[in-house]
Chains A and B, each alone.
Chain A
Amino acid sequence: MPLENVTVTRYNEIQEVIRSSSRLAPRGAGSKTALQTTLSSVTTLNVSDLRGVLAYQPQEFTFTALAGTPLAEIERLLAENGQYLPFDPPLVGRGATLGGTVAAGLSGPGRYRYGGIRDFILGLRFIDGHGKVVRAGGKVVKNAAGFDLPKLMVGSLGRLGVMLELTFKVFPLPPSYGTLRSEFQALSAALDAMLHLGRLPLDIAALELIPHANGAALYIRLAGDQQILPSRLNRLRAILGLKDDEILAGQTEHDFWQEQKEFTWIEAAHTLVKVPVTPRRVVALDKQLAAHGAARRYSAGANLAWVAWPGDSSTLDHMLEEQGLSALAVLGANGQVRLGRQVGAAFEARVKQALDPAGKWLAL
C-alpha cells in the first residue's frame, strides 16, 4: 500500500491498512494541530468518518460512540436529554472528536468538580499493533474486571493503537450557572484565595486563574438551581471578603467559559501547551513564563497551566525539565509534542512494547 492518507470507515479496512503499513498515525478531525504528524514516512489513518453514537440510554448515564464522532454532536444529544460530559471537553468548536480528546487526554474547566476525561471513560474497542480488534473496560458505570486499558488510552496520542468505539459515563446537566470574577493585585493573593475556597465544603464547578500585568483574576463558577445561585454567589463574596468583584451571568458567563474551552485568547502564531502543575508551583512557573512573553491561564484549581508559547519549544522543554514538569503541545505548528520531564518512562516503554511490538504506531 502506498503511503497516502487513508480514510476508513469499517474495522476490517482499518485492520487491512494497519497490516499493510509499516508506520501509522490515527487522525480524527485534526483539531489539535500540534499533534498532527507531517512525517512523510507515516501513513495517516483518518478515522473521522468513523462517527455516530452507537448506544445511549440516558437512564444509565452512559453512551457509546464511534471514536471519530464530533463532540459537538455528542454534547447536543446529551443536552437534549438533560445530561453532559462533566469534564468539559475542550476545542469542541474546532471540531474535536471523542477519540481525539481521549488520545490527547484533554479536559476543560469542569474537570475541577467531578474529575477529568480519565474519570469518565468506561470502556473502549481499539485495534492494536497486530491489527487485532480488542475490547476493554465495560459499558456500565462500574466495572473492575481486567486491566484498566480505557484509562491507559487517555493521553496515549494514538500511539498504542487506534480507538474505534468509546463508552463514557455522563451526569445530569446543571440547570444554570453563575460565575464570580474577582481581581487580585498579585497572583499569589489570588492563589491563596483559591486554595482557601478549595478546602471549604462548597460545590464549585470550576476555578480558574488568569494572571495579567496588574495581578490576577479569579473566576469561580457555580452550577445548579437558578433560584439559589444568587445566595450561593453572595456567600462566596462574604467568605472571600470581596470588594472588587463582578458577577457574570447569562450569555456573558457562557461566553467567558466558551473562550476558556476554545482557547480563543491564544495568538495564532503561538503554540498552546498543556502543563500539569500544582497550585504551589504556579507562582515560580508564572514568573518564568511571563519573562518569555507567554500568555497563560491556570485551570482546574491551578492543577493545569495552559500556556501560549511564543517561541521555540526547546526553550520551554528545558525550562519544564528543570522544574520537573511535563507538558503536551496541543495547538500550533507541528514540532516536539511531549515536553519536559516524563515520569514513568521505563514503565511506559514496557507497555508500548507489549501493545505495539512491531512499532506500527509512532513512538511515545
Chain B
Amino acid sequence: MDNSSLHTALSRIYPPDRLLTNPAQLTPYESDALTSFRARPKAVVIATSQSEVIQTVRLCHQLGVPFVARGSGTSLSGGSLPCADGLVIALNRLNRIIRLDPHERLAVVEPGVVNLEVSRAAAPFGLYFAPDPSSQPVCTIGGNLAFNSGGAHCLKYGMTSNHVLALKVVLPDGEVIELGSESLESTGPDLVGLFVGSEGLFGIALEVTLRLIPKPEAYKTVLAAYRSLGKAGDTVAQIVACGLLPGAIEIMDNLAIQAAEAAVQAGYPLDAQGLLVVELDGETRIVEAEFEQLMEVIHASGAYAVHVARDEADRQRIWKGRKSAFSAVGRLSPDYIVQDGVVPRSRLGEALVEIQRLSAAYDLRVANVFHAGDGNLHPLILFDGRQSGALERAEQLAGEILHLCVRFGGSITGEHGIGMEKRNFLPVMFSEADLQVMQALHRAIDPDQIANRGKMFPA
C-alpha cells in the first residue's frame, strides 16, 4: 500500500484540515505520555463523527493498514503509540455527551469525552463518574475504557470496567456491534467486561454507556506524616484490619512529597519520610462515626503530624498534590519512568525495601507514590536520558520491579495496562497456555491484527 493511494482514499473521508500528513503535523502524535517510545505514523485523521471512524476502520481493513485510536495521548504504557506504517485515528473531537439520564443514573458518551467532563455534566444532578485517574482533567473515556483505568478510589469503587454498562463498537473488520445494556445486570458471558481493558485490540468504542453514582454526602480527608515509610505502610494494615473501607488510601515517599510540594504547594510536610492520605466518604452520619474510628488508629500509629482537610478547598488541595505527583517529579529529573505494579497489600513494606535496595544498586533515584489500599505501586524511576545507557539502566530497574511484583503474587500492571512498555513482561505473569488463549481471542476478533498492532503481546 503506497502512501499516496492511502492519502487519496482518506481525503475522500476527511477535509484537508483533518487529514494530517506532513512531518510537522505528525510530530505531536509520535508518542504518548511514555515519551521514550516514538514512531511516526503515515497519517493522522481527526474524526468528528462516528461514521468517519467506521469508514476509516473499514478502509484500513480493506487496505490492510494498521490503525491506532488515540484520545488525549496520556497513556503511560505506550498504549497509543502509533504504528510506523499505520494510521492514527484521533478521537478527541468525537466528544459529545449524547445523553445523560439522571433517573437511570447513566451517561451515553462518545470516546473523546474527557473523564472529568462526565462528572461535571452529572454534577447538577448530584451524580458523578467514579473512576478518577490522575490525568482525569485531560484523559478521555475511550482511553479509560481501553486500558481499564483506575485512580485513587478503586478499592471501594472499582476500576473503569465496573462503571461501563454498554458499548457500541466498530470491530477491526468494520462490523459495528453493540454489547451490554443499560441495566446493571446482564445475561450470557460478560462481553462488556471482556472488551474493557482490551487495549484497543478489539476495535474502537464509538459510544460508551457509563454508570453514574451519587456524589458522597460527606468526605473526611486525613493527612498523616511519618518519620519512616514503613510506619505509613503499617498504618494501612491497621486501618484495613479494623473493618473500615475508606474511599482512598494513598502513600507518598519523601521524594514524591518534595516534588508535589514544589509543584502545587499542597501543604505537605517536607520532612516526612512517608505521607499517608486517607479519605472516608459516604453518608454524613456514617463518615462521622468512621472518622472517630480512623483517628483512633492514626493517633496510635506514630504519626508525628496529622492534618484533617478543613473544607472542600483544602481537600482539593491535598488531592491536587497527590494527582500532580507524576508530572511534579519531572521537576526533579529530566526523564523518568512510571511503573504500575501491584503487590499484596500486606507485602507493601517488603516491596518498598526491595525497591530502595534496587534504587541504590542501580544508582538511580526512585520516588514512590502508591495506591496503598490496592497495593498498587507507582515507583517513578528518575534518570537523565542524555547520559548514554541511562534509559537502558532505568528500564532494567523497572523490569526488576515488575519481576518482584509477580514474585510477590501481584501483577505487572494495576491500571496503566501492558501497552508497548510491558508487552515483553506479560510472559512473566502468564504461562504459554494462558497467552495462547488470549492470542486465540485476539485472532478471532482481529485476524489481521490491524487494531493497535504490537501492543499487549510480546514482540
Contact = CB atoms under 8 A, between A and B. Distances in A.
A135 B427 CA distance: 12
B301 to A, nearest CB: 16
Interface stretch (A72-80, A277-285, A311-319): A277-285
B188 A155 contact: yes
A224 B284 CA distance: 13
Interface in B421-459: 422, 426, 429-431, 433-434, 436-438, 440-445, 456
Interface residues of B, number: 90
Contact of A303 (B102, B154, B183, B429): B183
Nearest to A349: B444
A140 interface: yes
B395 interface: no
Contacts of A155: 186-190
B189 A351 contact: yes
Contacts of B104: 195, 278-280
Contact of B411 (A61, A142, A202, A347): A142
Chain A interface size band reads: 35 or more
Given A135-B431, A346-B175, A200 B342 contact: no
B430 A115 contact: no
B162 interface: yes
A57 B410 CA distance: 14
Contacts of B156: 114
B413 A145 contact: yes
Contacts, number: 271
B214 A141 contact: no
B117 interface: no
Nearest to A175: B243
Given A155-B188, A326-B186, A364-B189, A203 B181 contact: no
A224 B286 contact: yes
Most buried by B among A57, A171, A202, A278: A278
A111 B184 contact: yes
Contacts of B436: 132
A364 B433 contact: no
Interface in A292-344: 300-301, 303-304, 326-328, 338, 342-344
B418 A146 contact: yes
Given A59-B237, A347-B171, A147 B185 contact: no
Given A114-B156, A143-B414, 16 more contacts: A61-B155, A62-B344, A134-B433, A138-B411, A142-B415, A144-B159, A147-B198, A148-B148, A148-B196, A199-B103, A201-B217, A224-B289, A326-B188, A347-B177, A347-B191, A353-B444
19 contacts: A59-B237, A59-B346, A60-B344, A116-B185, A128-B437, A135-B431, A140-B374, A143-B411, A144-B414, A148-B196, A171-B245, A195-B103, A278-B183, A280-B104, A303-B183, A343-B180, A344-B179, A347-B179, A347-B191
